[in-house]
Amino acid sequence: MALARLFLVLFALLAALPGRAAPAPTPPARPLTVYFFDVGQGDAALIVSPTGKTVLIDGGPPEADEALVPRLRQLLREPIDLVIMTHPHLDHLGGLAKIIQGVGAKRFMDPGFDHPSEAYRKLLDVVGQKVGQVMTPTPNPSAPETLLSVGLGEGVTLTILWPRTPRDAFLDDTRSDVNANSIVTKLTYGKTAFLFTGDAEPETEAFLLTRPIDFTSTVLKVAHHGGKHSSTAPFLAAVKPQAAVISCGARNDYGHPTPEALERLGKAGARIFRTDLQGEVLAVSNGTTVTLTAQKGRSAPVVVTGQTTGPVAKGPMPSGTSGSVGSTRGKVVPANGKLPASSTKGMRYVSLKGSEVFHSEDCRTLERAKTQERTVYKDRASAMRERRPAKDCDP
């Protein structure tokens, strides 16, 4: 297979162990910086850790690359350490191919949710050629209950909250399953934290709230460009954002941000920043406070105080699971990323027309795409000759 799939655990540090007391945070000297770029209608944010580790979360729409590639070149001297594509929609992945070609990336992570669009397939080709490691947020098979974290140096940690397949099945029957399975991450530094939600849907928020996670975050990257369904009151009550950044295009066709989302954010007490009105938004954390500065307008920098006191995970993730875990999705894949041969005997594999991936025949993606033309392979080896394994069922 062209893309080497590596478990996140290869480079990740495990999240805080249950029961361990958090050390008292001391104000670190070097700052953690987050750039929320002005990419029009879409998302792109760059994290630069105190030690210079870099994470890009999304790459804006296709038309954003003209400005974004030079902007990233200005900020970075080396390839990006990790590129996270929250979900395969064009307003999040459109600029990524040019960024990976023009700036470079050492690792690439996507949610593993199959969405065979032309743009996504083209991006995966570029990733296959240019990026050393490709990963999905799969829990470590030896500790499936533990949240995965990426250490960025000097106590800065990026924890992946969602998705967690195959431990928990992808959300389905939502308003948009592609949005609902966005990668959701929490970045922590001392008492400050940032929550990145992609285009998470209300179902994502409700599901996450059932988990023993501390969502408290100083800065919230508002879900779905301030769409009216996401950023529910219960979720905001758990996040308690001091500041909220909305990434959207000026006079966009979607009416983003919506009055409903703005009202809920205001009621939650968040200072609101908008890339459509204020251009690029810069957020700098010293581990105690976060200073937010907008590129446009005359507003002075806003300083908000971090209020996070402990680890992201409040305890071990509960075992047992929602009834929606199908037989294929519930399995734990061993560390080599493949199932033992015995468990795949007699299984057939199916590829949908126009897709470069194949699924196991009981995959729920196939159920949902009942009317689409398909190719059936009688064994895995023949499927592998023509396609690569889909990331949702990981056949």
The DSSP result for 356-373, as a single string, is SEEEETT-HHHHHTTTS-
C-beta closer to Zn ion: residue 253 or 373: 253
C-beta closer to Zn ion: residue 230 or 285: 230
Q: Residues 199, 201, 214, 392: which binds Zn ion (CB under 5 A)? A: 199
Helix (H), strand (E) at residue 381: helix 380-386
Closest distance between Zn ion and the C-beta of residue 88, in Å?
Answer: 8
C-beta closer to Zn ion: residue 177 or 199: 199
Determine what percent of the chain falls in helix, strand and coil, rounding each to the nearest 5. 25, 25, 55
* Interacting residues with Zn ion between 308 and 347 (CB under 5 A): none
Residue 124's nearest CA partner among 209, 207, 3, 303 is: 3
Residue 75 · residue 50 · CB < 8 Å: no
Only segment of 52-60, 86-94, 150-158, 208-216 that touches Zn ion (CB under 5 A): 86-94
**CA dihedral sign of residues 339, 341, 347, 352:** positive
Only segment of 70-78, 91-99, 165-173, 274-282 that touches Zn ion (CB under 5 A): 91-99
**CA dihedral sign of residues 184, 188, 193, 194:** negative
Q: Is 89 near Zn ion (CB under 5 A)?
A: yes
Residue type, 278: Q
C-beta closer to Zn ion: residue 175 or 267: 175
Give the contact letters, 144-183, x = binds to Zn ion (CB under 5 A), - = no.
-----------------------------------x----
3-class state of residue 154 by DSSP: coil
Q: Is 71 near Zn ion (CB under 5 A)?
A: no
* Interacting residues with Zn ion between 364 and 393 (CB under 5 A): none
Phi/psi at 5 (5° precision): -95, 120
Phi/psi at 73 (5° precision): -65, -35
Closest distance between Zn ion and the C-beta of residue 67, in Å?
Answer: 18
Q: Residues 38, 58, 91, 201: which binds Zn ion (CB under 5 A)? A: 91
3-class state of residue 263 by DSSP: helix
Q: Is 81 near Zn ion (CB under 5 A)?
A: no
C-beta closer to Zn ion: residue 54 or 204: 204
Residues that bind Zn ion (CB under 5 A): 89, 91, 179, 199
